[in-house]
Amino acid sequence: MAEKKLKTLLVFKYLDEFSDESHPLSTSQLIEMLANDGIKCERKSIYADVKTLKEIGYDIVSIKSPTNGGFFMASRKFEIPEVRLLIDAVTSAGFITPKKTQGLVEKLESLVSKNQANSIVTQVYIDPNTKCDNEEIYYIIDALHTAIKEKKKVKFFYKRRNIDVENRKNYTEKTFTVSPYALIWKEDHYYLLCNNQKYDNIMNLRVDRIRKVQTLDEPVRPMNEVSEYKEVFDVADYSSKMFNMFSGASDKVRIMCDLELREQIMDRFGAKVPLLAYDSTHFETTVEVAVSDGLVSWLMSFGNKAKVLEPQYLADAVKERAQQIAKLYE
């Protein structure tokens, strides 16, 4: 009885791993595979196994053909385009190390047959130098998720790259004790949104730079003590206001832009952002954002094609930065 159940499981394994619409497995092939695993059987028992698997709910198709007959797994939880999309996402994620990327890709490929997996060739090129080297990353993310769910403070080391006068590669590690509120994926990096107990604001820390997370038996600080969000932390709203993940006070900003910047502005703020004609060659928009060095850098990336109309203090900050840059080239 035990051998019969094992045989049925092995038939399922072979069909799941090696069969698809273009590569059905014949009865003879299944008998040979079972023999290689030490199980001898007759043709009629293969039909019985396939019938059992169908009754359980597996979508196995039988093909009757003198040349290419057999069985194949007709449907799977994921289609090839879906698996390819997931593989591209994992491959391009900078916070996943090369070693863990390879492991995840192999697991994703197991969602389809081996022949189908061999046909999945990613067209996304990723510079391996952009991948992080933090092999603890899975456990760090899991520990942070748990702490956020349980509303507990965490303590960890935060690693940063240094460059000394002799160009030697070295790092510094700083200890942080924070109240974690959320994890977000932004601008190709994973960030922890948290509060450093020494300050009354939210800061954004790169998860791939975090080491040795320790969950403390201390409750997090209430969100309303450190942010404008009084009841629920609106992560989507917070994220939409950030530029290069720099924190800052929220304010309404009015900008005048060349007409050619319409797509860039809609890409950044969404298709519903208000665009109003300013003159025949410019439009204006008003958005609520976090005013920070990141915002100044973003505005300056448009050169003379964007101008801050309001508030004046932001216009002055952009002007001062432009003067500092000009001074570098004197």
Could you state, in order of their start, the residue ranges of all structural domains in the chain? Answer: 2-73, 80-130, 151-240, 250-328
What tokens does 101 get?
């990327």
Asked if residue 311 has a cis previous peptide bond (ω within 30° of 0), the answer is yes
The confidence score (pLDDT) of residue 122 equals 62
- Does domain 250-328 match CATH 3.40.1350? no
- Considering 87-96, 140-149, 244-253, the range whose residues carry the highest mean pLDDT is 140-149
Instruction: Kindly report which listed range (157-171, 196-210, 227-241) carries the lowest average pLDDT score.
Output: 157-171
Residue 49 parent element (H or E): helix 43-56
Q: Which of 190, 182, 193, 184 minimizes the C-alpha distance to 208?
A: 190
The radius of gyration computed from the CA coordinates of the chain, to the nearest angstrom, equals 28
Beta carbons within 8 Å of 177's beta carbon, 6+ residues apart: 153, 154, 155, 196, 197, 216
pLDDT tens-digit readout, 268-315: 888 889 999 999 999 999 999 989 888 999 999 999 999 999 999 999
Q: What is the mean pLDDT of the chain?
A: 86
**Coil, helix or strand for 239?**
helix
Q: What is the pLDDT of residue 167?
A: 56
Q: What is the pTM of this model?
A: 0.66
Give residue-wise pLDDT tens across range 97-150: 888 888 888 888 888 888 888 777 666 566 666 677 777 888 999 999 999 999
Strand (E) or helix (H) holding 288: strand 282-290
CATH number of 2-73: 1.10.10.10
Lowest-pLDDT choice from 47-51, 116-120, 208-212, 323-327: 116-120
Q: Which of 231 and 32 is assigned the larger pLDDT?
A: 32
Q: Are strands 250-258 and 210-219 parallel, antiparallel or unpaired?
A: unpaired
Q: CATH number of 151-240: 1.10.12, 2.30.30, 1.10.1060, 1.20.120?
A: 2.30.30
pLDDT for position 284: 93
Q: What are phi and psi of 94, to 5 degrees?
A: -65, -25
Strand intervals (E) in 103-248:
152-163, 169-186, 189-196, 203-206, 210-219
